[in-house]
Structure 1
Amino acid sequence: MLAPRPLARKGRGAVSNLQGRYERNGREDFDDGWERDEDACASLRTVVSDEQARSILTRNASPDIPFNVSLNPYRGCEHGCIYCFARPTHSYLGLSPGLDFESRLFAKVNAADLLRRELARPGYLPEHIAIGVNTDAYQPCERERRLTRAVLEVLSECRHPLGLITKSALIERDIDLIAPMAARNLACAAITLTTLDPEIARTLEPRAAAPARRLRTIRTLTEAGIPVSVSVAPIIPFVTEPEIERILEAAADAGAIGAHYVVLRLPHEVNPLFQEWLQAHFPERAQRVMNRVRDLRGGKDYDSDFGKRMHGEGVWADLIRQRFTKAVERLGMGEFRGRFGRLDGSQFRKPLVVPAGPAGEARGRAAGQLDLF
């Protein structure tokens, strides 16, 4: 007997609330005959909780990403992208990487204050900060919360280099801060464009901006003098992979001066969540997609080794690389290459005011000012 086809929820990427790998108590779905299909597919309310974070800058030593420091004002992401590599981080909170990740969010309300204290530390050395790496800094709740805006105000005041990556048109709100920084070689942006097909985007990234809207955002940022690249990520075999050249052409037409890509990554709980999504939306090609994913990963669903995790390995990985490289060269999109590493950190200046620490032991004062007592 065939297993029932998973049912998708309107406006959500994940099909289920898959159990996180750190939960102590196991659970499984059981149909007692009372739940109707329309109940299972009902809309799910988003809840955003305040969080007093203990730190705000994350440092990494990964050789296959172009930055060492990142900042994420939120945990979880309402965009609901089924492929998001950050989904497993919700397991650390005792929550599901599935529907919980996109409906139970946490806002780091002290993000800007923490950043000020970090930048004011003696001996702090400026290194470009990537904003919105794990979860989108411009997801819907940012419209009211304005945490990303507050972080940008601090970085602008301190003339600190930064890079933004998003799939939201809300970034246009902050052009007044980003454009002057870009003019000083302190800022750049990347817009993620996974597909040009709005029907695929609606299930793949249900609450992110539509593809056409993202192209308009690239144009708007470019016209404001902000250097923009396009992130074609992830490339999903037989779903978004056929569009590689068309995506790059559309982005170049909109003004993007650079491009990079990542093939589909399926770490931890992302793997079963993605396969549930495939069965719900593309059941006729689900097996074919997973077979090609395994071709890209040495026969496995995922390989986390540095040097392989972003682009894969083997014949199909090489074919994707060649297609992407040739299209970028043909379109003249090589100007952005290495731009993130060339942002100017020499203009950095300490913040003028430093907020009190968590214990309240130091009231706001000028950075570097000594205490009298």
Structure 2
Amino acid sequence: MQVLDRRKALSIPPVWRLAFRPFFLAGSIFAMLAIPLWIAAWTGLWPGFQPTGGWLAWHRHEMLFGFAMAIVAGFVLTAGQTWTGQPGVSGNRLMVLAGVWLAARLSWLLGLPLVLLAPLNLLFLLGVLVLIGRMLWVVRQTRNYPIVVVLSLMIGAELLVLSGIALGDDGLQRQGVLAALWLVAALMTLIGGRVIPFFTQRGLGRTAQVKAWPWLDWSLLVGSALIAVLYASGVALVAHALLGVLFLAVGLGHLLRLIRWYDAGIRNVPLLWSLHLAMLWLVVATVGLALWNFGLLNNSSPSLHALSVGAMGGLILAMIARVTLGHTGRPLELPPGIVWAFVLFNLGALSRVFLSTLWPLGSLWLAAACWAAALGLYVWRYAPMLVTARVDGHPG
């Protein structure tokens, strides 16, 4: 707030004052609608048009590059102001970036030619990369340069997916999508490792924060990035015992961090247990993929959905619920119904991961219903906060 021209900032419509506002709202609405649409299309209840590359390509791409990257954009471009002391992205620049994101989503869903679709999707990621990269470069904040590296690799993953669409190569698309999923996991590792111990200490009123082990944090970040590269190359698509060792090491590293962060008090604070539970899903995912690589599981899909639905989706919901409160000047007290959103999200993840073999169709619909209901609760309770001014009268 000290770096902003207050009068100019307050003249901007509230929804365009910081990036978390449009991207948290639009990303949540999009994901709330996209999963039921995908299940309806996959089960034959939506027999109409086909998006670019077909419904499976649309689903895999949009949950990562559409939903997850919208939330990442909202978070890093908002946090960048705190990290660097530079004014956050707002006003016309934010409107243009959000417009590009929306155009990219529509281009894929409406089946536009690749020559139009590809530039829009790449332009959004490039815009986020340039904006946060500039903020960090101006003050030479090397601590956050890994975020720039991960976003750069995300553009490479997007190029793989688009190349797969152009060539009609499903394997190449899958390489890009799974690489992107693990790059999101790398961001979760980096950002979660910083904020979850801090949020836990503040939320429970503890006098000291759990001291980080830099070697562990860096090992998990590098391990996740390595897995992303192995997926991008196609190596990780085939089970191998050495890959199992890598996945198991990453999973045990995340479990060790969770044990170090644990405090019995989090069980009474939904804003905290939701964060810790999301990171526990990351452990479930990595251990499951280790078992698949060791030949002890027949299918990697449940483990990948433990990562995408339980860990990624769960952490997104927990983070945006807290960040929205803090950045709109409100006390960290959940609105009515949001605890149920956390519960529903995790029930949906349990259904998708553990019931898909026993109850294939029913588990998908149950997971989709829980996902949509959870995000619907967030949109219902938080949309008014995101489109109106801060309650304390400050800009932002």
Same fold? TM cut 0.5: no
Decide which structure has greater strand share: 1
Decide which structure has greater helix share: 2
Structure having the higher Rg: 1
Instruction: Tell me which interval the TM-score lies in, with the shorter structure as reference length.
Output: under 0.3
